[in-house]
Structure 1
Amino acid sequence: MKRTVIMLLLTAWCFLGGAYAQNNADELMKQAQQNLAQKEYIKSRYLFLQAYNAYVSQGAYSKVVECGVKVSSLYHQENYYKEAFDMLRSTEAVVYTGEQKEKKAFPELRFPIIKERLQMYIKLKNPSRAKEQLDRLEETAKAARNDSLSNDLLYTQATYYYTFGMNAQGDEAINRLIGKYKAQKNYAKVNDCYKTLIDIARKANNSALVARTYDQYIVWNDSVKALNAQDELNALKRKYDESLNTIQEKDDSLSAKQYIIIGLCVLAAILAAVLVFGAIVLLRFIMLTRKQKKAISIANEHNELKTKFIQNISAQMEPTLDTLDAKLPGVKALHAFNAHIQELSELENSLDEPYEMEEKNISTFCESVMEKIKDKTKSDVTLAVNAPKLTVKINPEQLEHILLHLLQNAAEYTPAGGKIWLDFKKRGAHTHQFIVSDTGCGIAEEKRANIFKPFAEVKDLTKGDGLGLPICALIATRMNGSLTLDESYTKGARFILELHA
């Protein structure tokens, strides 16, 4: 009797323990998703990892894959590619263990793992390794025999081909998917395909594909509206015919039902009026769409003309300025403003042309840049450089241009006894940052949104034209990077220049 009671207690304890572990894993995953929605990426990654380990212990393989892929995605989002690939290998090993245990393949679980690895190779611009993963993905989708995975495969193939400039293959993949949805009359999915294709083209910087897809999308929208209008017309016509038949039957059988006949005629007239009104609305919408398309084209043309106009004005100003006394503050300011306009225009027209790179010792380089502002700081201002003796590929001339401008601004606005420092930090295998910080007055909150926009406000040119930061931001973009203001820093101003190798 005692043994029976003990066995029952042990069974109940195991059941309750398993239920608690399941609930704990689900709660961790729920918290991770909430933090991800709030863009708390590090915390979200940690919680997904905890949920991953909990699901591994339970053998919940689909949840293991979901959490593992999320963790990998959050790693490579921050350019921690080694950790991301390791996470996928670990997840794949768990799936393999499950397959051995269940004695069957899990292609639907392997699919998201392979897809995530493929996306990382696409982001790393490694076409050969990406193609290997694409081939594996296709084999896995065929093994799964799942329509949803087959559609996902076509999206992924299109992304790969367009990213690496194989437009014909990309068109074939996306057109196959659109053809499937058209055959099913799933017009919402067709719309999603065109929107996704436009997004893929933008990420691949393929302006021709963006324009072509946008034209196809407009034509498709027009045809869908025409189809819907035709369906409505047919439905109304059927109702109208039914009304006439009813009227005829009632008229033949019961003369006393004339009021009903009149009512049905009125209804038919209303339906016809609604149909006419709908046709008018449709025609107006088509005309408006064409006008909007023409307006976009005109706006782009005007923008190009504006840039040329500004360049011509700048070029015409230069001979006149040369005749004036360059020592006068106003003339000196106009010379600088003219030079900045020329530089800004040239940068806007050459953003797709990369700079030449060379190996430099980053510690020596940063020290030499900082040395150039020593005589421009106020008394007792501390200058510091925190950079390792590391060799990095950079364009020294353009990088010095940006850092020197940021440091000169810091020197101008940092009071006596303050501090200015330049930090260098690696953020992954192919990403590094240059951070310029000071203890000056900082930048007013209402001005932060426009500091990288040229001509955002009217200024006295003798006090600066405000084009320095916009020019630096464009140079950073051409160097495959970005220049941002750290708005969380409150002790002065802090600018972050992030470059990608």
Structure 2
Amino acid sequence: MKRILILFLYILSGICVESFAQTLYNDSLNWIKANQELKSANYQQACSLYMELDKDMDTIYTEINSKKIEDLRKVYSINEVQLQKNMVQSKILELIAWIGITFIVLFIAFFFYIKKQNKRLIHSQEALNRAKGLAEESIRNKSLFLSNMSHEIKTPLNALSGFSEVLTMPGIDEATRQQCNDIIQLNSELLLKLLNDVIDISCLNVTNMKFNIKPCEVVELCQNVITTLGAIKQTEASISFETGLTSLELETDADRLQQMLINLLVNATKFTKQGSIVLRVEKIDDNTAQFSVTDTGCGIPLEKQGHIFERFEKLNEKAQGTGLGLSICLLIIKRLGGSIRIDSQYTDGARFVFVHPLKQEARS
């Protein structure tokens, strides 16, 4: 059995079988001799033979172990190469992963950069479009201004020239002379108002312009405005003032407030040939007063109501006026801390409403 086990180990270890058979034959002879010597009581010779057998077994085991060790070394060498290969592959995969992550981060950063640049470009384009629109509006306003000024100045100047010449003619009666004088006076006032409107529309845009704010009794001021316009009106419509207040004091620039009221009332007389024009004032709460000018004229179409406060905007291009009156009213009431609007619910003519604070807030 022991020899079969040794043969099996030889075969597994790859040692030559022929060499093993020779060794096995020699050992068998020695084994027989040793047993014979042991039976013959020749113990020394038997011990010598057994020791030689043991030596042969050690040799066989040594060869087997050497072969095994060599095989293990080869296997280890192969595993080490495979391990190094795996490590290299792992490092390559890790490098590829880092490159991929870096690329993704760069792509995201580039995407947001392009998005930010696009937003800036869009904002720049919008600013450019706004500037272009303002420039076009400025050119349009300039053209309208020159056109209006040419017409508005020419009309009263022709009247002044013509009726001044009539006054110098001999033989005219006193009634004709008085009529010519009234016409000259009216057209002189039109020219003065025209110049004042142009000055106002330029000055009111200056942010550091100071208003003369002080307490003002507005009920009395409104009555005086109605009296003044009643004397010079060029319409058959009645002009009246209505209020439930006996007095109302507010902090304002009296001249600017009077200018607003006159502009609104004169504007109403241009489009109200008959009927009535009513100025109203009321106190709507402890902090605010409300003024309104209501007429029974032709009214203002809805499509024009959103633009009526723009400069040079005229309801009727043939009507006398510069188209600056309502825009001046808007600028004045804003500086006084109020607001102005047209009442779109009123359909029997036109109604302009503006509110004014009773007390002016401190302004830096």
The structure having more radius of gyration, on CA atoms, is: 2
Question: TM-score with structure 1 length normalisation?
Answer: 0.38
Decide which structure has greater helix share. 1
| Higher RCO structure, 1 or 2 (CA under 8 Å, sep 6+) | 2
Question: TM-score with structure 2 length normalisation?
Answer: 0.50
